[in-house]
Amino acid sequence: MVMIWVYTSWLIFRGDVVQVSTQVARNGKNSMRRDWLLRDYKTGEMLIRASSNWVMMNKVTGRLSKIPDEVRGEIECHFVNGPPVVDDDCRKLPKLEEATADYVRNCLTPRWNDFDVNQHVNNVKYIGWILESAPQEKYELASITLEYRRECRKNSVAAVSALGVEIVKAQTKWRPKYTR
């Protein structure tokens, strides 16, 4: 989940500097969590909070796997104790029906540059598809939550459907654009 509090101007000539801090934590038996905080370096103002869960997948079976003890042992010393930087309840997504969605974009077919080295659609591409589906003339993204369910491969066609296989669940929240 990503929560955007303030958009920066991102103008290099103004010298905007963004401070990024990140930490990793245990998240149950078989996953880890990574949190990010982005602040305006000069003012300390919070810009963005983000949290993600990471799991391991067996490359052969495509199923979730337990994180090997030797891997967990190497990184456990870097774990921090504490709650996620975003409310965990905000990240649980309800089932979406096409009739209740504000904007729907169907029949998305992945292109060559959408794939990662494993020939799956790169996770950032889903975000692009979602953002391209909503009008951004008067609104800006306030938060986005994604739940990746399975891989989208070369011959897949993404659509909102109760009949198909669930690839990704997402929820966005928008707010009126502030004119700077």
Active-site annotation holder among 120, 122, 123, 155: 120
The token duo for 61 is 């079976």
Q: Which of 118, 122, 123, 155 is catalytic?
A: 118
Amino acid at 93: L
* Chain center to CA of 2: 6
- Catalytic residue check, 78: no
152 is catalytic: yes
114 dihedral zone (left: phi>0; alpha: psi -120 to 50; beta): alpha
Residues contacting residue 100 through CB under 8 Å, at least 6 positions apart: none
Per DSSP, the three-state class of 20 is strand
Where do we find the tokens 């190497």?
74
Dist CA 31 CA 54 (whole Å): 5
* Token representation of residue 104: 């729907």
The sign of the dihedral angle between the CA atoms of 21, 84, 64, 95 is: negative
Instruction: Indicate left, alpha or beta for 10 from its phi (over 0: left) and psi (-120 to 50: alpha).
Output: left
Residue 30 known to be catalytic? no
Q: What are the residue numbers of the active site?
A: 118, 120, 152
